[in-house]
Amino acid sequence: MNTLLAETGGHWPGPWILLVPLFWLAVVALVVTFARRAGLRRHCGDAPLAVLGRRYANGEIDVEEYRTRRAVLAERRPGDAG
């Protein structure tokens, strides 16, 4: 303890030094939050199909429109390039 005080000019950094880990924890939490909101965790092809299925389940579109739109989405899937 004496060597630490001698290296810092005889002054202890104070209790505010405990806020440094909290600052970095907040930075990491913000990055994770923004990544989730940006949709980085979602698979690219699943989101439109999920929305379409939700609209069909809510009764906003009928079965014919659902099948038509699903066929269009299936044609445009990124992994189906041939």
User: Could you tell me if residue 58 is inside a domain?
Assistant: yes
In 3D space, the residue among 80, 79, 55, 77 whose CA is nearest the CA of residue 67 turns out to be 55
pLDDT of residue 15: 82
Strand residues in the chain grouped as ranges (E): none
Looking at the chain, how many residues does it have?
82
User: Could you tell me if residue 3 is inside a domain?
Assistant: no
DSSP 8-state code for residue 61: S
User: Could you tell me if residue 6 is inside a domain?
Assistant: no
Is residue 82 predicted with pLDDT exceeding 50? no
* Average pLDDT of the chain, as a whole number: 81
User: Could you tell me if residue 70 is inside a domain?
Assistant: yes
User: Could you tell me if residue 35 is inside a domain?
Assistant: yes
DSSP 8-state code for residue 15: G
Of the given ranges (9-13, 40-44, 69-73), which has the lowest mean pLDDT? 40-44
Number of domains in the chain: 1
Q: Domain range for residue 34?
A: 15-80
In 3D space, the residue among 44, 49, 47 whose CA is nearest the CA of residue 72 turns out to be 49
